[in-house]
Every structure is written in C-alpha cells, then in structure tokens.
Structure 1
Amino acid sequence: MDKVLAFVKRVPMLWVVLACGAVMGLLWSNHEKEAHWVVTLLVAVALIDTLRGMIDDVRHGHVGVDILAVVAILSTLAVKQYWASWAVVLMLYSGDAIEQYAGAKAQGNLTALIKAAPQVANIETSQTGDDGPSDSDWRTVPVDQVRLGDRLVVKPGQTVPVDGELISPSATLDLSNINGEPMPRRLFKGARVMSGAVNGSGTFRMKATQLSKDSQYQRILTLVRSAQNSRAAVVKTADLLAVPFTVVAFIIACVAWIISAEPTRFAQVLVLATPCPLLIAAPVAYMAGSGRLAKAGVLIKTQDVIENLGRVSHIFFDKTGTLTVKRPRVTNVDMADGRGDGDGVDERHILAMAGAVEAFSVHVLANGIAAAGNQAQDDLRRSGLAAEDFRAQEVNEQSGDGVEGRVDGHLVRVGRLAFVSGGGSSPFGPLAPDEMAAYVALDGRLAARIVMKDVPRDDAADTIERLRRLGVNRLSMVTGDKEASARIIADQVGIDDVHAGLFPEDKAALIARASQEEPNQEPWWARWLSRFVGESVTKSITMMVGDGVNDAPVLAAADVGMAITDGTTTAASESAQAVIMNDDIACVPRAILIARRTKRVMLQAVVLGLGLATVGMLCAAFDLIPVVVGAFMQEAIDVVSILWALTAMLDRGL
C-alpha cells in the first residue's frame, strides 16, 4: 500500500486523467456536451503543464521537443476527436510514469549504494574496557557531527559511520557495500575500519580518523552521484536528433493532410509521432549500464566512460599490484645448512617466527612474510608441532635494515644480510631476476633465506586472453621495474609489448602516443549507427589499468583510467574515470562487455522505437490507423523501446 501511495504522489496527473475519463464515460450518452467541456479543461491543464516542462528542460540544457504532444493534443481537439484528445493526454502522463519507473529500475544498483550510506554514529561518552560499553555510555548523533579522535560504538547490524581505527580486540565486518567482497572479514585491534562496512556480530569500539566528508564511503558516493548526474555525449546527441525527427513527423502529417484534404489525417499522424526512444530509452540504457557496472564492482564517474570502454583499442597495465599480487609472495625458504639447525627448527618454524616479527614491520616485504608465517603456524598446529600461536615481544625495527624481536624463546632477526649476519658472507646461491629475499637469524646465527617473488594474479593470464577474444589485441605492460623481471611476468600473463624502467611521465607520454594509433575496426553497421548518434569513430581509445600507488597521473592521461583497488586506495580513484572496487582484474574485460552491451542495447532501442513510430505514421497517413488507436499504439511503442533499453541491466553473455 505504501508503494502504491508513493506512486500516486509521483504522478498525480495520471490519476486525474483517469478520473476525467471515467466522468466522460458517464456523461457521454446523455450529456455529451458536458463531456466535451471535461476533456477541453483537461487538455488546457495538460498543455500548461507540458509547456512548463518544456521550458524547464531548455533551462537544464535539454531539448524541449514535447511540441509534438502539444500539437497532437490540439489537433485532435480541433477535429473534435475528444476521446483521442483524452487518450493523448493519458499517454502523455502514463509516459511520465513509465519513464519514472524505468529510471528508478535502471538506477537501482546505484540507488542501493546511496541508501546504504551511514546516517548516524554512536559517540562514546565515557571510556570503558575493550569489550564495549553499556547502553548508557554513548549518545547517537548525525554522522557529520563526528570529530577526529572521537571514540565510537558500532552495534551489530550497524554501518560503520566514518573511517577509523579498531580499538576492540576484534570485529567481523561485511564489506560488500565497499568492494563487493562476499564473505565477512575478521579484523583485529589497530586495523583500519572503513565507513560503509556493516558490523556482523558483537558491539565493537573504534576511534575516528577521518571526518564523514573525507571517509571512504563518501568517496564511493561521490562517484555514484557523478555517474547519476552525468549525461553521456551520445545521449546529448540523441536529444538533438529528436529535433529532425519532429520535423519529419510534421512533414508526413502535413503531406497526408494536403493530399487527403482531411484535417483528421494530420492528427492521426501526430498521435503516433514519439521521440521517446531518443529522449527516454537512450538515457535509460546508459543509466542501466552504469548500474550493471556497479553491480559488477566497477564504479564510473560519468556515463561517457561507458562509450569509451566499449571502444577501447589499446590497454596499458601496470605490473606490480595490477598484473601481480599486491604483495610479494613467499616461494621457498632456503636453510643455511640445507637441513635445519638440528634443534627441530624447519622451514615452517622459520616462517612462523619471522612472520610473527614482520607483523610489526612497515617494510614492503613484511606483509608477504607475515601472511606466510600465519599459514606456517596453522600447518604446525595441525601437525601437532605447536601448541599455541607464535607471539613476538620486544620488537624493534631498524629502518632500512630489518626488524628483530623475541619469539618462542629465540631472538629473531629478519632483514638485510648485513643486518642479520653481522656482515658475514652469504652461503646461498644467487637470486633469479624476479626474486627478492629477506634473511633470518636465530639467536645471532644465520638460519635461513626467505625467497619471495612478485607473482602474477591467479586470473591475470585468463584476463589477457579474454581481452584478446574481445578483439582488444593491443596490450602493453608499463612499469618502473627492471626489464628482466618485467619480462618474466609479461611472459607468464601473455603480454608481448613491455615497457620497463619508466617514470610516471614516461608512461603518460607513451599513452599519449598510443592515442594517435588507428582505432579498432568495427562492422559497417556499427560505424553507421555511431555516426547516426554523433559519436566519433576516428580516434583510438586508450585505457590504463593501475593499482594506484604511483599511477594517478598516468590514469588521468588515458581516455579511460581504471583504478583496481580493494576499496581502500584513494590516490588512483581520484584520478581515474572508473574504479574496480573488489580488487578483481577480471572486471576489466567484464566492464568492456557490459559497456558494449549497453551501447548495443541503446542503439537497438532507438532504432526499434523510431522505426516503429515511422511505420506507424506512414500507416496513419494512408488512414490505416484510427486516431484513438494511434494514441494507444504510440504508448505501446514507447513501452517497447524503454523496456528494451532496460535489458542493459541483464547479465546475458557476461
């Protein structure tokens, strides 16, 4: 019932028109003259409302072509086709209702993100233990009243209001609104907590480190609103094309009137003239595409991105963190004596102890070693070789050299060879070009070398192959890394064109040169339709995919800059036109597929709608379609084209 009432409030004139139709039906038999006055009054109100809408459209930069509807209403009234006049007014307002429905449906995924925005926060009023305060220890305020350093309480099912630091020992968060991650993530004390995440279970406490306007979810909302408010260039062109369509409609109507000498023919033609496939179906398709991209984990800043995505001809990939995993992965542990130290310490013990110490480090290799250490601890527990977790104490990091601490009774040092061994020589063999190492000493004795590699993402090679199947054959790797290590990764993922040792300005210059290449070849009908809607097909479209560490200026240089993040990176997303929020490189070909399908559906809806309207007008010109029937057929044409545009939301072939 609430939904029905909300719909009634959105389109009140539709219900007025229906009521007037009921009154006309009751009066028609015995009080036909009064029925005529009812429809005349209704037409007057509709004309005033329509003219106001046209003026408002022009003020907002849109083309006001409702002149077709205005003339159609007046012409049917002039030839005393009163029921046809009522039908045209009914179609006018039911069209508004369909447009609102289609727009809401198309924006559904984007609107869901906006509705999930944090609204309130629970600010702690007294400090308590880490297990959480009682109900009397906080007050609820609007989220924009949170200040830096405020201690906040987040209850089960609540949305994290601002970015902050976890104070409680642990928390389980649902990050699906941020990066589409399907499984809840377990965080521990000191971890970053992002706004927009939903608390899974158990009240936890956090400290605000960002204001609401600067928090992660607000950045997501900025992208969403930007996409909602933008209008693609092709949609703007479609608006302009409604003008010549209007002229053609008037020409057909006038010729039919002159040849037949019947004024009714003029009205018959115009009631079938509908520019809705251009004015409504085109923007609905692009908004549906924007929502479909959001559902797939890709947020775009403007709808123009959809056009460019569908026509990408050259893609540049950053290496580290984009084609490869975000942190180097431990590939093997070389023991100093080849066997272990004789005290029951093997590779798993080395990793477990080194990982416990590296968990406190900020070094670039620390996360990879810490992750491998956690896995090694799990293996030791399952094997019965460790009763409890390895915990590091008295940890001290020497910047640029390494970190040391006490773990399980041992003094553990992890870092450079000179730091670990006291300047001794290495008993290990040379590293491969794509390898890096951290050395480990136990109680002052060199014990092992942990070898790590910058390895490709598991699905990187499949992604490259899928892009080639989509016809995007110009694929390049750009990196500041050495040629030898870059070539190894490129060979593994299937990229032949490698540009290594580049600074950001070198990458930007390379992309600028690529934009002068020949564009992708498209079928003749696609080129014709693109020109029909005013889109240039003479320029090569470049795309840069990067993880955002040093990629912001390069992303801005490409026609499509796509930042691949896990929902936390901000530098790239501020410069990029599209942001992958779930750290999934497979979203690159998926986004191109969605963009191409969106463009295809839009063109189909436009051609289908205008084609049916033109055929209908010609039939009406030969008196094959009565004026009242034509009014309802016009609405049917609108419905068909708009519903077809909404199919851009579907997952066919993705």
Structure 2
Amino acid sequence: MIIPTPRLRRPALKLMLRYPLVAGTLAALLAVIVLLLSGQPVVAQVSASIYALAVAAYLAVGMARRLMGGQWGIDILAVTAIVSTVLVGEFIASMIIVLMMAGGTALEDYAAGRAKKELTSLLERVPQTAHRERGGSSAAGTDTGGTGTAGPSAAGTDTAGTANTAGSTDGQHEDVAATDVGIGDILLVRPGEVVPLDGILLSDSGTFDESSLTGESLPVERAAGEPLMSGSLNGEAAVRMQVTARMEDSQYSRIVALVKEASESKAPMVRLADRYAIPFTALAYTLGAAGWIISGDPARFAEVLVVATPCPLLIAAPVAFLGGMSRAARSGVIVKYAGVLEQLSRIKTAAFDKTGTLTYGRPALVGVRTSGAFTEDEVLGLAASAEQYSSHVLAASVMDAARTRGLVFEPATEATEFATHGVRARFDGRDVVVGKPNFVAESAAGVVEAELASGELAIYVGVAGKFAGALVMSDPIRGEARRTLAELRELGVTQTVMLTGDALATAEHIAAEAGLTDVRAECLPPDKVEAVRSLPLRPVMMVGDGVNDAPVLAVADVGIAMGARGSTAAGESADVVIILDDLSKAATAVRIGQRTVRVALQSIWIGIALSVALMVAAAAGYVPAIAGALSQELVDLATILNALRALSAGKDTAGTGAGRKGAGRKGAGRKGAGRKGSGARGAGVGGPGLPAAGRATGAVAGSRLPRSAEQS
C-alpha cells in the first residue's frame, strides 16, 4: 500500500528553505546535544564553536556592509557575545545566542511577509488590445446612422445611430496590441470595455465612467468630436473613436509612470529597535569591561554579553508589529509592511479624495420636487417605471430609490429612449417623459428648472402633457465621514485636507459637511502629488480609491486605498488597503498603529530593563554563562508575551461602526462638476441646470425592453 506524503510536510519544507539559518541552527544544536549525551564533549564543543563562529563571521560581514552604508545596528553586540562565549568555552551559550539571533531575524521577516499580499499587477487595468477598423479613417466618423431599433443585435446600444455604426462594421475589425495602434486609427470600443488610448469620439454620443481617472462620481456624456481619455469605462453603447495619442503618451500610461516614479522615491523604514542599539551596546560593553577589570576574570565579560544579547530588541518589535498587522487584518485593514504601522502612529495630516472616499461614489436621490397635484411617490414611481426601459447610468439610481420606498413599477404599453435626452413611455394611456428639462418641455407644459446645491443634478418628469416635478440626485457624503474625522482629531491628526478634481463649490460643500480644515479643488493627479509633497505637517496620510489617486497614494508617507471598490492601481500604490467599504477603517488603522508602537516600545523597555538587571548581576559574578543564556530566554518570553498584547484592542476601540455600505459602483469623474454633460440627462451639476445639449428634435430613438426583461 502506498502511503501518501502528508501535506503538512510541504509547508514545513518551505519554511526550512525560507529560513535556512534557523533550520541549520536547530539541527546543529540537536547534533551537539546528541554528541554530549554520547560522551563526546570535545567533539561537541569543537562542532558548536565552529558553527557559532561561522555564523558570527556571516553576521559580521553583513554588519560591516551596513556600517559602511552609515547604518548602525545591534548585530555587533550579538557577534561579540558569540565570539566571547566561544573563547571562554561556553559553547552551549554560544549556540543559544545563535538560535535567538536567527529566530529573531526570521520572525521579523515573517512579520513583513505575512502582511504583504500578492495583489494583482499594477498594469492589469492597462488595455492590452484594441479593436481597430480595417481601412478606417476620420471620415468614417461622420456616419450618424439615423432612426433604428436598438435591440440585442446592437449589443445593448441605446442609440440606433451607434447600433447601425457598430453593425455596419461587423467582421471589419481586427484585434491588435494597443501598443501597435497609431495616431489616426479608428477603433471600436464595445459596451463595458475600457477605452484603450486617448482619442476623440466619432459616434454621435456616448456615456463614459471616468471615475477611475478623475474622481467624479457622475457619469460623463460625450458628443461627437469630444475627447476621450484612456482608462475610462465605456457605457452600454458601442462607440467608435479616432486615436490622438499613442499608448505611451495616453492618460492612463502617464498615471502608471507617475506611480512607478513615486514608488521608487519612497525611503525604506528603519527598524524600530535599532534606535536603541548604540546606547544599549555601549552600556553592555561598559558593564562587561567593569566586571572583567574588577574581578580579573575574562569570563565575566562573556557572561555579561550573554545576558546582553539583543534578542529582546530584535524580537519585541517584530512580534508587536506582527500582532498589530493581524489585528488590523481582522478589522478589514491590510497593512503591507510592518514599518507602515510606525508611520501611522505619528500621522499629523490626513488627506482625502472626495468621490468614493468621503462620498459613496454613486448618485442617490436626495429629494423629489413636485408640481401641481402630483405626490412625491407618484412622481418617483412613474419616473422609475419609465427608467426601467432606459439604458442610462442614472436609471439604476432612480429605480433603486423607488424600490427603497416600496414602489411598484408599472408595465408600459410602449417605450422609447432618446439618446442622451431621456425616455418616453406610455402607462394606461398617459405619456410619461423623463430626462433633461428641454426634452421634457417639448412634451409637458410648465417645466421649471430646479434650484440645485453644489454637487446636485435634476431629472425632470412630465406626465400627460403636464410638468410633474423633478428628482434631485447627489453623491451623498458617507455616514461615517464626520465621525471618522473627529476620531482622527482625537488621535492627534491636526490637519485634514480634501484633494479632488471636482469644482471648488462642490468640494467646499462636502468639506464643510465632513469637517475638513483645508480644500484643494480641481486637481489633476500631478496636482495632488505636489499638494501632498508641500504639506508642512508630516507624516501625511492619503486616502483614495481611483486610478487618479494612485500617484498621490504612492508619494504620501502612508497611502491608504479603499480597496473594496477601488482600482487596482490604487491598491498597488498604497501602503494600506481597506478591504471593507468603510472610511472609518482609516481611523482604525491609525489607532492600531499607535497601539502597536506603544506596545512595541513597552516590550523593548521591559527587555532592556530585565537585561540590564541581569548584566549587573553577571558583572558581579552571580550569573554563569549558561544560566545567563537560559535567563535571557525568560527575558525573551516576557518580552514576547507583552508584545502579543498588540493583537488585542486593549482600552482603545478598533474604530467606529461600519456606517452605511456603498451600494453601487465607485465614483469618479472630470474636473469641474458643472461641465457640460457631467449631469448626464440631468440639468447639470453645481447650480442651475445647464441647457440640454440640443433639443429632442432629430434625436435618435430606440425602443427597448424593460431592464427586468433584459436581465432575465
């Protein structure tokens, strides 16, 4: 019978290969013990001494390299302790010192490796292929299609013009590498695909999610001839575009390059314990020399150094930081490197992106403005019933709001969507029109544009030829935002800053609501980087979620990515990833960092205090070398037990409640929330509604099934 190899052996083998010094020292110590039990003490001493001196030589080489690089560590004390114990014949003590050194180094490495998760590649989101039109030219972009039916054959397009354009080129496209696309090439971007390169739109219109690039939650509508940015996500209509920049010069590629540059410029962390290396080493040598001089016995020097081995310093900080990282992981916060916790403990400035970070990143209904005898539920219910036949990105928000109120959608006898303008549907003989004010005004009398606050847009509703009211939408601030900022202030964060691509009015409105101390609006990714670099109170923590936040997350002292719905680039650039859609976890990370460092310092000082007491006793001749090595193990045990307190929350709370969960796609967008089209079919963003981009006359109409039918 074949006995399968236990799976447990594989992890053990991996650990042995990863930490060969620990495995070798354990094997050597076991061999020495076997030799002693076999009655061969001389062979045991020679073997142990050779092994210990070899390890000391290895450590000395690394120590010399660090000294030449200007880094002073505590390894010099361990090397001296190993050599001195070998010279005075305390070979067992030398082996124990080697084991403690190897174990401490391995534990520190394991602590960092456990927290650093293998995230997806930074370039994962970069488009690799493009659908190039054979023989395409800019003239091809003049096709406007005409009236038609948008159905399954149109691949989910919401305009017949786009449907005809896409259909006429079926079988006339070739998939090529994005790097092979040249300026002037015509590309097809299918529904839900990422725009591969910068260009201009050739189709009549298109809706794009630029959230991963610019930080504005509201969808952006583009008309023919308007620019498209690589990295933006196409909506539900296939579109054609003409390339204006090669891959290396496109927007997304520039952001990726900026992330790499910022990442490479970040200085590495120095071990916390090394700060105590020089005074502790000097004290150990002084006490050892004093014991040797006073007693005249060189063994006293070795005995002092045995109990002075820096294992409490080597082990205390890594164990505490490992505990802190484990504690953070249980709270939904992944800290990539142990040193990040030390930076978190000293944060003085916290900077935040707006959309998807301080806000939920999805437009939500904030009010229903009624007209005449119509009630709020009636206006919302009819609007949602019509929107179920629309492919527009705001339709889902309207339908969600109706479901929240328990409203039932009515089936339409007929429904037609007019691209970029709105939708018209008939219910029990009544025509319902939903969309932009000019579009609704063509079918309903008395349309009055709503007064909007910063960051709001309006969707207008007409019923049976009369203006029924308007639905006011906004990307609301997170429920936990104000609480999170208050908690950060309690933790010693004195400055809070918003960095956003939004218009100033919108940014100031959210900042006032959240309680931020500073606002930097209309920022592109390079502007955010310079803003963080110029902040005077350090260290600076930056919290963001989009690709546009990736460069600033990389350049900040601590970058925190909202990873639940955030972008790949943001997660890769950040030092901390929040895996829950909860902003309060940023304060949790700071709180855990402070507790972790506090516990680590307590453990270090406990180890130093006990070691100093043992050194004094050893200098006086009360602690032999082997007894000192074993006593040092007790010191290590006390240090480790105290350091493990970092696993618990202690008297500190681990953060506030999760707050409301984000219920939709992450947000983002374009600088200037009031720009044309940023309100999609609404009246605009940030003030009174902008005029609709043309009237409904000549708009391309498409009959659609309700969303419930399409999804089924």
If the TM-score is normalised by the length of the shorter chain, which range does it land in? Answer: 0.5 to 0.7
Of residues 269, 285, 288, the one that matches 1:250 is 285
Is 1:361 matched with 2:392? yes
Is 1:440 matched with 2:461? yes
Is 1:24 matched with 2:36? yes
Counterparts in 2 of 1:425 and 1:238: CA distance versus 1, 3 Å: farther
Is 1:612 matched with 2:641? no
Deviation for aligned residue 1:438: 0.7
Of residues 368, 381, 400, the one that matches 1:371 is 400
Q: Does the aligned pair in 1 maintain the 2:60–2:79 contact within 8 Å?
A: no
Q: Does the aligned pair in 2 maintain the 1:102–1:642 contact within 8 Å?
A: no
Deviation for aligned residue 1:467: 1.7
In structure 2, C-alpha distance between the alignment counterparts of 1:234 and 1:492, rounded to whole Å: 39
Q: Does the aligned pair in 2 maintain the 1:43–1:85 contact within 8 Å?
A: yes
Is 1:234 matched with 2:270? yes
Q: What do the CA deviations read for 1:149-183 (whole angstroms, capped 9, x no partner)?
A: 9xxxxxxxxxxxxxx999xxxxxxxxxxxxxxxxx
Counterparts in 2 of 1:489 and 1:58: CA distance versus 1, 3 Å: same
Q: Does the aligned pair in 2 maintain the 1:325–1:455 contact within 8 Å?
A: yes
In structure 2, C-alpha distance between the alignment counterparts of 1:395 and 1:12, rounded to whole Å: 76
Deviation for aligned residue 1:592: 0.9
Deviation larger for 590-599 or 440-449: 440-449
In structure 2, C-alpha distance between the alignment counterparts of 1:289 and 1:446, rounded to whole Å: 59
Q: 1:527 — aligned with what? A: none
Deviation for aligned residue 1:463: 1.2
Of residues 474, 488, 491, the one that matches 1:467 is 488
Deviation larger for 278-287 or 320-329: 278-287
Deviation larger for 605-614 or 476-485: 476-485
SS of 2:478 mapped into structure 1:
coil
Alignment of 1:346-357 (within 5 A): 346-357=378-389
Q: Does the aligned pair in 2 maintain the 1:289–1:649 contact within 8 Å?
A: yes
Deviation larger for 453-462 or 65-74: 65-74
In structure 2, C-alpha distance between the alignment counterparts of 1:6 and 1:559, rounded to whole Å: 35
In structure 1, C-alpha distance between the alignment counterparts of 2:549 and 2:294, rounded to whole Å: 66
SS of 1:234 mapped into structure 2:
coil
5+ residue gaps in structure 2? 1-5, 17-22, 121-174, 177-190, 194-255, 655-712
Q: What do the CA deviations read for 1:364-396 (whole angstroms, capped 9, x no partner)?
A: x444224224435xx245xxxx6xx86998764
Alignment of 1:79-478 (within 5 A): 79-80=88-89, 84-93=90-99, 96-97=102-103, 100=106, 104=110, 108=114, 110=116, 233-235=269-271, 238-239=273-274, 242=277, 245-300=280-335, 302-339=337-374, 346-358=378-390, 360-362=391-393, 365-376=394-405, 379-380=406-407, 396=417, 398-399=419-420, 401-403=421-423, 413-422=433-442, 426-428=446-448, 430-434=450-454, 435-441=456-462, 446-478=467-499
Counterparts in 2 of 1:65 and 1:4: CA distance versus 1, 3 Å: farther
**TM-score (norm: length of structure 2):** 0.60
Q: Does the aligned pair in 1 maintain the 2:443–2:465 contact within 8 Å?
A: no
Q: Does the aligned pair in 2 maintain the 1:109–1:292 contact within 8 Å?
A: no
In structure 1, C-alpha distance between the alignment counterparts of 2:402 and 2:331, rounded to whole Å: 33
5+ residue gaps in structure 1? 28-33, 115-147, 150-163, 167-218, 520-539
Counterparts in 2 of 1:86 and 1:557: CA distance versus 1, 3 Å: closer
SS of 2:372 mapped into structure 1:
coil
SS of 1:438 mapped into structure 2:
strand
Q: What do the CA deviations read for 1:227-267 (whole angstroms, capped 9, x no partner)?
A: 9xx995231x7447536644543332222112211122122
Q: Give the structure, 1 or 2, with the largest relative contact order (CA under 8 Å, sep 6 or more).
A: 2
SS of 1:583 mapped into structure 2:
coil
In structure 2, C-alpha distance between the alignment counterparts of 1:545 and 1:568, rounded to whole Å: 11
Counterparts in 2 of 1:514 and 1:338: CA distance versus 1, 3 Å: farther
In structure 1, C-alpha distance between the alignment counterparts of 2:287 and 2:473, rounded to whole Å: 74
Q: What do the CA deviations read for 1:441-496 (whole angstroms, capped 9, x no partner)?
A: 45776444212233221111211221222232323445454555545434433345
Counterparts in 2 of 1:475 and 1:276: CA distance versus 1, 3 Å: same
SS of 1:334 mapped into structure 2:
strand
Q: What do the CA deviations read for 1:607-635 (whole angstroms, capped 9, x no partner)?
A: 22233222211211011212221111122
Deviation larger for 278-287 or 589-598: 278-287
Q: 1:492 — aligned with what? A: 513
In structure 2, C-alpha distance between the alignment counterparts of 1:24 and 1:265, rounded to whole Å: 25
Q: Does the aligned pair in 2 maintain the 1:392–1:407 contact within 8 Å?
A: yes
In structure 2, C-alpha distance between the alignment counterparts of 1:323 and 1:453, rounded to whole Å: 13
Q: 1:125 — aligned with what? A: none
Supply the AA of the counterpart residue of 1:647: R
In structure 1, C-alpha distance between the alignment counterparts of 2:576 and 2:600, rounded to whole Å: 21
Q: 1:186 — aligned with what? A: none
Q: Does the aligned pair in 2 maintain the 1:418–1:424 contact within 8 Å?
A: no
In structure 1, C-alpha distance between the alignment counterparts of 2:57 and 2:33, rounded to whole Å: 22
Q: Does the aligned pair in 2 maintain the 1:353–1:412 contact within 8 Å?
A: no
Counterparts in 2 of 1:618 and 1:550: CA distance versus 1, 3 Å: same
SS of 1:92 mapped into structure 2:
helix
Counterparts in 2 of 1:459 and 1:75: CA distance versus 1, 3 Å: closer
Supply the AA of the counterpart residue of 1:606: I
In structure 1, C-alpha distance between the alignment counterparts of 2:395 and 2:632, rounded to whole Å: 66
In structure 2, C-alpha distance between the alignment counterparts of 1:643 and 1:351, rounded to whole Å: 63
Q: 1:36 — aligned with what? A: 42
Counterparts in 2 of 1:74 and 1:586: CA distance versus 1, 3 Å: closer
**TM-score (norm: length of structure 1):** 0.64
How many residues are paired up? 501
Supply the AA of the counterpart residue of 2:269: A
Q: State the identity %.
A: 35
Of residues 1, 10, 13, the one that matches 2:25 is 13
Deviation for aligned residue 1:69: 4.4
In structure 2, C-alpha distance between the alignment counterparts of 1:548 and 1:112, rounded to whole Å: 19
In structure 2, C-alpha distance between the alignment counterparts of 1:290 and 1:396, rounded to whole Å: 52
Q: What do the CA deviations read for 1:512-564 (whole angstroms, capped 9, x no partner)?
A: 5432xxx5xxxxxxxxxxxxxxxxxxxx3333333427544554564334333
Q: Does the aligned pair in 1 maintain the 2:423–2:433 contact within 8 Å?
A: yes
Counterparts in 2 of 1:581 and 1:251: CA distance versus 1, 3 Å: same
Deviation for aligned residue 1:269: 1.0
In structure 2, C-alpha distance between the alignment counterparts of 1:304 and 1:413, rounded to whole Å: 58
Q: What do the CA deviations read for 1:252-303 (whole angstroms, capped 9, x no partner)?
A: 2222112211122122112112122333433444454444434433345555
Q: 1:623 — aligned with what? A: 621
SS of 2:461 mapped into structure 1:
strand
Counterparts in 2 of 1:559 and 1:268: CA distance versus 1, 3 Å: closer
SS of 1:233 mapped into structure 2:
coil
Q: Does the aligned pair in 2 maintain the 1:354–1:412 contact within 8 Å?
A: yes
Counterparts in 2 of 1:106 and 1:302: CA distance versus 1, 3 Å: closer
In structure 1, C-alpha distance between the alignment counterparts of 2:598 and 2:51, rounded to whole Å: 39
In structure 2, C-alpha distance between the alignment counterparts of 1:79 and 1:427, rounded to whole Å: 98
Is 1:580 matched with 2:541? no
In structure 1, C-alpha distance between the alignment counterparts of 2:101 and 2:428, rounded to whole Å: 74
In structure 1, C-alpha distance between the alignment counterparts of 2:449 and 2:321, rounded to whole Å: 58
Q: What do the CA deviations read for 1:117-175 (whole angstroms, capped 9, x no partner)?
A: xxxxxxxxxxxxxxxxxxxxxxxxxxxxxxx99xxxxxxxxxxxxxx999xxxxxxxxx
In structure 2, C-alpha distance between the alignment counterparts of 1:277 and 1:393, rounded to whole Å: 77
Counterparts in 2 of 1:13 and 1:391: CA distance versus 1, 3 Å: farther
| RMSD over equivalenced CA pairs, Å | 4.3
